[in-house]
């Protein structure tokens, strides 16, 4: 170190990459769009969206554009194509185990596949913090990343995944992967988690109701979100919701609320799932509505991860169909009660698939779970923003919000598969044309082990 001021001077900064956010004064006008704004409202035809730098300046009928809107602007004629908010995958694990090359390839595919933000639901946050920064400033193409640091009971930390994501440290002691108990100094524990760059605490396993409540209160006091599984064991769904967490993941876990099965640990749950599912299906259809009503009252978002349930091994034969029926009933009741649903995946498609897993999840929500495409689009946009706590800045096409947009050739309200007919993804005002991704690229990426 020296005393000389070595701050960069004008002209020293490197040229912006093709993935960097647009800068103020870079104005683009998207004309003649069929607008799906993310709120669940009907399509509005012949609309114009004006972006200035990374934000949306104006959303108006095309006929109301003035000369001042067009002066000096780049004009993109969408000729009736459909413009909607960028998609949000609310359940990803890009760093479990950490593999930088694979993560970058996945993030690139996500961006060109219409995904402009993800929740990273715990992993090696040393790697994810740098990937978050690189995607934010445009060193690499990728969605905005919102990271969670994990907290669980000490008994969980012999799980091999915890060793994968703490290499060089000890599971349970790393700031992004902490073991907590009744005697833990939660003020310090949450502060350590914040220091990783995480925006949320993920409450995961082997924790009781009172401790989850204390973690949630302290995290909120320090300005962090709290994301939890639907049941944490021994804490059950009602305990998790009553603790005040912001999002609960894995809708099938809510079935435990109607069961007499009470696993002491997270690891013990799967041995009983078939019994839990049967008890849930035997209960009155509206028996779960009290829990869901409390979620609605509190504004708790449901990260359904509906399709991942089919990947959980169950016995006896036929249990997989029972699991599907449980998930569908839970989603039906959540919709009936008015719980905000977001769209998370908890897995990624193989590297040779041209689209990220979120598209498969959205197809599943429509075709297997019976959600109308309009609601599924909202779940993948404004619902995702609600999970992130970012509805003021993203998730819908409104003036003042980030210019995170997706342009597709056909109406996703008619067929959710039309979300794969991507023309361009706009992230923070910068366009990323699908044609650039579809051109052959040298090299590839190996498929790693998902957690």
Tens-digit pLDDT string for the chain (451 aa): 444 444 554 445 566 688 999 999 999 999 999 999 999 999 999 999 999 999 999 999 999 999 999 999 999 999 989 999 999 999 999 999 999 999 999 999 999 999 999 999 999 999 999 999 999 999 999 999 999 999 999 999 999 999 999 999 999 999 999 999 999 999 999 999 999 999 999 999 999 999 999 999 999 999 999 999 999 999 999 999 999 999 999 999 999 999 999 899 988 887 888 999 999 999 999 999 999 999 999 999 999 999 998 888 776 767 778 999 999 999 999 999 999 999 999 999 999 999 999 999 999 999 999 999 999 999 999 999 999 999 999 999 999 999 999 999 999 999 999 999 999 999 999 999 999 999 865 444 433 333 3
Q: What are phi and psi of 264, to 5 degrees?
A: -80, -25
Q: Check residue 131 and give its pLDDT.
A: 98
Q: Note the pTM of the prediction, 2 decimals.
A: 0.94
Q: Check residue 13 and give its pLDDT.
A: 59
Q: Check residue 317 and give its pLDDT.
A: 67
Q: Check residue 366 and give its pLDDT.
A: 98
Q: Check residue 311 and give its pLDDT.
A: 82
């Amino acid at each position: 170190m020296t005393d000389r001021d070595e701050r960069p001077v004008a002209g020293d900064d490197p040229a912006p990459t093709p993935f960097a956010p647009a800068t103020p004064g870079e104005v683009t006008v998207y004309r003649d769009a069929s607008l799906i704004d993310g709120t669940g409202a009907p399509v509005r035809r012949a609309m114009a969206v004006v972006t200035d730098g990374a934000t949306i300046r104006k959303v108006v009928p095309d006929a109301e554009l003035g000369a001042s809107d067009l002066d000096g602007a780049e004009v993109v004629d969408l000729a009736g194509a459909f413009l909607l908010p960028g998609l949000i995958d609310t359940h990803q694990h890009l760093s479990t185990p950490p593999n930088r090359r694979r993560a970058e390839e996945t993030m690139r595919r996500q961006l060109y596949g219409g995904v402009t933000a993800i929740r990273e639901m715990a992993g090696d946050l040393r790697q994810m913090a740098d990937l978050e920064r690189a995607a934010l400033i445009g060193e690499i193409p990728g969605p905005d990343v919102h990271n969670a640091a994990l907290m669980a009971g000490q008994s969980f930390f012999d799980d091999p995944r915890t060793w994968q994501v703490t290499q060089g440290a000890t599971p349970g002691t790393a700031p992004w992967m902490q073991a907590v108990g009744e005697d833990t100094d939660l003020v310090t524990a949450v502060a350590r988690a914040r220091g990783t760059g995480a925006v949320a605490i993920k409450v995961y396993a082997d924790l009781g109701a009172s401790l989850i409540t204390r973690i949630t209160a302290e995290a909120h006091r320090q300005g962090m979100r709290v994301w939890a599984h639907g049941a944490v064991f021994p804490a059950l769904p009602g305990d998790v919701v009553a603790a005040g967490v912001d999002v609960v993941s894995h809708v099938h876990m809510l079935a435990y609320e109607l069961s007499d099965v009470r696993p002491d640990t997270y690891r013990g749950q799967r041995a009983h799932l078939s019994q839990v599912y049967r008890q849930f299906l035997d209960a009155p259809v509206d028996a779960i509505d009290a829990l869901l009503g409390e979620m609605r009252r509190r504004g708790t978002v449901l990260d359904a991860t509906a399709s991942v349930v089919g990947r959980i091994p169950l016995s006896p034969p036929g249990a997989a169909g029972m699991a599907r029926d449980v998930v569908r009933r839970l989603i039906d009741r959540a919709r009936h009660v008015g719980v905000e649903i977001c769209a998370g995946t908890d897995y990624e498609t193989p590297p040779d698939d041209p689209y990220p897993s979120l598209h498969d999840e959205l197809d599943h929500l429509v075709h297997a779970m019976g959600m109308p495409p309009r609601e599924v689009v909202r779940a993948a946009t404004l619902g995702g923003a609600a999970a992130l706590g970012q509805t003021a800045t993203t998730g819908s096409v409104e003036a003042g919000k980030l210019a995170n947009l997706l342009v597709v050739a056909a109406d996703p309200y008619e067929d959710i598969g039309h979300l794969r007919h991507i023309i361009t993804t706009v992230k923070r005002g910068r366009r990323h044309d699908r044609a650039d991704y579809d051109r052959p690229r040298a090299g590839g990426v190996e498929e790693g082990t998902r957690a």
